[in-house]
Structure 1
């Protein structure tokens, strides 16, 4: 069995057990079926059409998955983003609850000696997937990140919980113009998301995802102190919906944006990986060794790894709702079983939400 699908009223999720990726999330809302997550265009193609030695996590790239570590596995040998994103998971439990469904999975491999479990929860009439990952035992420290991906046919607009700063690494993802292209300055930094430096001079608005800008970029957003959940909202233009990703900033203090819009010309990307936005909430720098050693985020007072040895857990939420007008909310707040969206026109929209799940208090 490569996949398992389960559902609650108005929502269903499919997990690819071969790599732990969410293969599909479907939400019934407003008489429509919303599909907020991305699937790579090469999924299902014959293996001989793909380059040899691709990590399984790239071969089966979809939806969202756990990275442990994030990026390079240069402490304990493993593929890019670690074994949780590249190897098999077993179903430990999958049962109906009083108000939905809950399923628990265990990674077949260990990470730094730790047993890793994934718990996915659906609630009736909630347009959200509630996720928890937990590490039991092990030794040393591990960096982690979710790797949620949405996709936009015609671009969209982004909004975020308050961020202290945005920064790019020293080098772009695709420095060779024969292989790809990028827009942002590397390294670059700004406290104003609407004015981030670009490579050719001037600035760009990180909140604007423009379909015509073919590029491959990566930027890290550091959460500000604001007392609420961390959130990213993506108003997808052509899809006429709003994708929401939420976290507890105390657990996952950074949100990394991977802008992958036809910016890679080599296989399997081949200029066809279009309109993709990775919303990668994490506790990490780039690479395992960097995360547990000295790095620029630690100098900013930001944690970049969890210490193993006991029980370590963190949570994240992904969902979507219909949206008219193409502009994301100005604010998102969790209160009394609802997620309240403050829209730019002054109106408010409330969505059923487990307000205790992220435990931000």
Structure 2
């Protein structure tokens, strides 16, 4: 695997240049070494036993990657999640800065005629990766999403910035019981994330990731209007840490959760992809054609694509990080200001962490 690793004080990130996936992320903090990102168990398998028709993005499935479009590429021919998730990136620039490291990567292919850059920034003593993607030129419209994945040995507990509601699509990911299983009802909607309709009746708590629930589920959370960054916080029990994912809701108005816990029985999954949670912040519906056409999110006033065009750029930003946390519980709230992140616990204690609060451009319109 052709990778490049960038480093700042207390953090390093490795990029798989074959597909642009974040292959690894290591955070050293308070005497602990945290590894918040997931890597599929078959990555690096040289036995030749993987199915021949797998997209490269699945072969290399790791960490986080850019989806453009999200899900089906049914407008411009490309594999699942588009060329940014499945094809090579070049290193344009990678060098130390006065307070960390900055690297720029460029997709070798174009998306809807647009060139695509990935800009990764690390800052000394910040337990976060700051990333931006920039589309230059092109035509038409493109849906986008980040695809960060974490994994747990003993489950975890989730908390979120305010959401309007959560909704499942019309069909589950694995409707055939001979191939897999699911637990959520499809389609279904709920405003209370702790009581979402289950396929067998009753409800499931979306904030509680349980290892004994073998399933493959997908659900979309729509951000509420609250004036701050959108965030997801996952307190991983066995790992005793807090995984944090942040966005600007004006740019990425939805968060899609992919629960992959032994819910697929066919290769390469084979029931071994367990304890995985995708926290997928996006501006998308499921599939490129659906995203740029009529869809249920548009009916809710939610944007599902960026418009491309010659002579202007489209850009959006995203943050991934982690901090030690022994309580096993996610925060009650997160606030960012004056170069800090304040993580408020249920007992009103506060963890204060270095954070570039200007990076996400909260209060500004989506860059188009």
Which TM bucket (shorter chain)?
Answer: over 0.9
**1:78 maps to which residue?**
78
Large movers: runs of 4+ above 2 Å: none
Report how far residue 10 of structure 1 moved: 0.3
Q: Residues 184-203 of structure 1 correspond to what in structure 2 (within 5 A)?
A: 184-203=184-203
Q: Residues 151-300 of structure 1 correspond to what in structure 2 (within 5 A)?
A: 151-300=151-300
Report how far residue 13 of structure 1 moved: 0.4
Q: 1:134 to 1:48 in 2, by over 3 A?
A: same
**1:351 maps to which residue?**
353
Task: Give me the whole-angstrom Cα distance separating, in 2, the residues matched to 1:229 and 1:4.
Answer: 30
1:326 corresponds to 2:317: no
Q: Deviations over 1:74-125 (max 9, x none)?
A: 0000000000000000000001101000000000000000000000000000
Please identify, of 112-121 and 43-52, the stretch whose mean Cα deviation from structure 2 is larger: 43-52
Q: Deviations over 1:193-234 (max 9, x none)?
A: 011000011111100000110000000000000000000000
For these two proteins, the number of residue pairs brought into alignment is 361
Report how far residue 325 of structure 1 moved: 1.1
Compute the TM-score of the two structures, normalised by the length of structure 1. 0.99
Unaligned runs of 5+ in 2: 364-368
Q: Residues 25-40 of structure 1 correspond to what in structure 2 (within 5 A)?
A: 25-40=25-40
1:105 corresponds to 2:105: yes
**1:335 maps to which residue?**
337
Task: Give me the whole-angstrom Cα distance separating, in 1, the residues matched to 2:351 and 2:327.
Answer: 14
Task: Give me the whole-angstrom Cα distance separating, in 2, the residues matched to 1:221 and 1:47.
Answer: 39
Q: Deviations over 1:29-88 (max 9, x none)?
A: 110110000000001112511011100000000000000000000000000000000000
Report how far residue 24 of structure 1 moved: 0.3
What is the DSSP-based 3-state SS (H/G/I as helix, E as strand, rest coil) of the residue aligned with 2:278? strand
**2:366 maps to which residue?**
none
**1:117 maps to which residue?**
117
What is the DSSP-based 3-state SS (H/G/I as helix, E as strand, rest coil) of the residue aligned with 1:139? strand
Compute the TM-score of the two structures, normalised by the length of structure 2. 0.97
**1:52 maps to which residue?**
52
**1:301 maps to which residue?**
301
What is the DSSP-based 3-state SS (H/G/I as helix, E as strand, rest coil) of the residue aligned with 2:118? strand
Task: Give me the whole-angstrom Cα distance separating, in 1, the residues matched to 2:322 and 2:110.
Answer: 33
Task: Give me the whole-angstrom Cα distance separating, in 2, the residues matched to 1:211 and 1:340.
Answer: 30
What is the DSSP-based 3-state SS (H/G/I as helix, E as strand, rest coil) of the residue aligned with 2:48? helix
**1:137 maps to which residue?**
137
What is the DSSP-based 3-state SS (H/G/I as helix, E as strand, rest coil) of the residue aligned with 1:138? strand
Unaligned runs of 5+ in 1: none
What is the DSSP-based 3-state SS (H/G/I as helix, E as strand, rest coil) of the residue aligned with 1:273? coil
Task: Give me the whole-angstrom Cα distance separating, in 1, the residues matched to 2:250 and 2:101.
Answer: 27
1:126 corresponds to 2:121: no
Task: Give me the whole-angstrom Cα distance separating, in 2, the residues matched to 1:47 and 1:299.
Answer: 48
Task: Give me the whole-angstrom Cα distance separating, in 2, the residues matched to 1:166 and 1:262.
Answer: 23
Give the alignment's Cα RMSD to 1 decimal: 0.6
Q: Deviations over 1:254-277 (max 9, x none)?
A: 000000000000000000000000
What is the DSSP-based 3-state SS (H/G/I as helix, E as strand, rest coil) of the residue aligned with 2:96? strand
